[in-house]
Structure 1
Amino acid sequence: MNMKFIFGGIAFLILLLLVAGCTQPAAQQATPAPTTEPTTEVPATTAATAVPTTFVPATPGPTDTLQSNWAVSVQVQSNGQAINPQVIYTFNGGMGMNLIPEIDVMLTRSDGTVEIGNFTQPMSIGQTVSLPGTTGNNDRAEVWVITPQGDRVKIVDKYVPFRSYS
């Protein structure tokens, strides 16, 4: 007989716990009431927020190919120095080196900073542009060629490893 009261009491407590947990009202969402009078804009204040420590630039996208008479080559690599990491863009020439008015280079660093540089006429083989990089392996390098017609064509879009052991 005592066992019936013990099991009955335990079952009653479990039932009370289940009912208490399931009967709480759902959180009400406040909807703003429509106003008929004009409101004045209050300037927004910015609050300091924590910046994520690792930023991964967007995934490199597809690149285009220039016409053969406008073709140029740009090599991108890191200097591999931990004290002063740099991403070096080297102009390697091509059939269009005297026709292309400008080559824009862009580096999206792993911390989210964007660095920009360019090659302008007169261009020479071996000419370099150096942009500050990071020691991470996900700095994204892009090279945009401005054609004689004024179009922008992306010829390089890739991640630049800080160091490579090959």
Structure 2
Amino acid sequence: MNMKFVFGGIAFLMFLLLVAGCTQPAAQQATPTQTAAPTTEVPVTTETATAAPTTLASTTPGPTDTLPSAQAVDVQVASNGQSINPQVILTFRGGKGMNVIPEIDITLTRSDGTVESDKMVQPLYVGKTVSLAGSTGNKDRAEVWVYTTQGDKVKIIDQYVPFRSYN
């Protein structure tokens, strides 16, 4: 009787592993498309493929704006100071706009020029964090953008994030 449960349990676990491995969607690949001209002249062939643009952003901080007082939020950007796994952490600290701001975006431009982005969406609460991979240099630039209830994108932070600070 116990052997039935053991073999049944093993068979059930193998079934779960099989199902879990087969449920991921297949990756889509860009396929070239060909378009021929309607006349008998030389056919025109066009290929379309999607590729991520590779642009190097400026590492110089620029001006920032302020939010209306009814939508004001407070965020903090700091480095974790770990040389093995340097991270730049955006921490939400609250504010009057906590329940009305739909999204907060952060863009980190590391000192080598690579750009990484992430976002923080509702529900927002004090202490909510977003972490991006930083560098050990002192030239990591963090930009924080807030979307208002009218759909405007307002830059509230644009600053260098030091790897370590000794106060």
TM-score, normalisation: structure 1: 0.66
Q: Secondary structure at the match of 1:123?
A: coil
Contact 1:105-1:143 within 8 A present in 2 as well: yes
In structure 2, the partner of 1:151 is 152
Contact 2:144-2:155 within 8 A present in 1 as well: yes
Deviations 1:67-121 (A, max 9, x none): 0000001100000000000000000010001000000011000111111011101
In structure 1, the partner of 2:111 is 110
Asked if residue 85 in structure 1 is aligned to residue 111 in structure 2, the reply is: no
Q: Secondary structure at the match of 1:97?
A: helix
Contact 1:68-1:95 within 8 A present in 2 as well: yes
The 3 A distance-change label for structure 1 pair 56 and 121 is closer
Paired AA for residue 94 in structure 1: G
Contact 2:102-2:122 within 8 A present in 1 as well: yes
Uncovered stretches (5+) of structure 1, i.e. residues with no partner? 1-54
Alignment of 1:13-162 (within 5 A): 57-162=58-163
Structure 2 distance, partners of 1:134, 1:57, is 16
> How far apart are residue 57 of structure 1 and its match?
4.1
How many residues were matched structurally?
112
> How far apart are residue 59 of structure 1 and its match?
1.2
> How far apart are residue 56 of structure 1 and its match?
9.0
Q: Secondary structure at the match of 1:96?
A: helix
Paired AA for residue 164 in structure 2: R
> Taking every aligned residue pair, what percent have the same amino acid on both sides?
70
Uncovered stretches (5+) of structure 2, i.e. residues with no partner? 1-55
Contact 2:59-2:139 within 8 A present in 1 as well: no
> How far apart are residue 148 of structure 1 and its match?
0.5
Structure 1 distance, partners of 2:106, 2:57, is 19
Q: Secondary structure at the match of 1:119?
A: strand
Structure 2 distance, partners of 1:145, 1:158, is 15
Contact 1:118-1:129 within 8 A present in 2 as well: yes
Paired AA for residue 65 in structure 2: D
Structure 2 distance, partners of 1:158, 1:128, is 18
Q: Which runs of 4+ in 1 moved over 2 A?
A: 55-58
Structure 2 distance, partners of 1:60, 1:80, is 21
Structure 1 distance, partners of 2:57, 2:66, is 26
Max Rg structure: 1
Structure 2 distance, partners of 1:58, 1:161, is 13
Structure 1 distance, partners of 2:139, 2:100, is 33
In structure 2, the partner of 1:29 is none
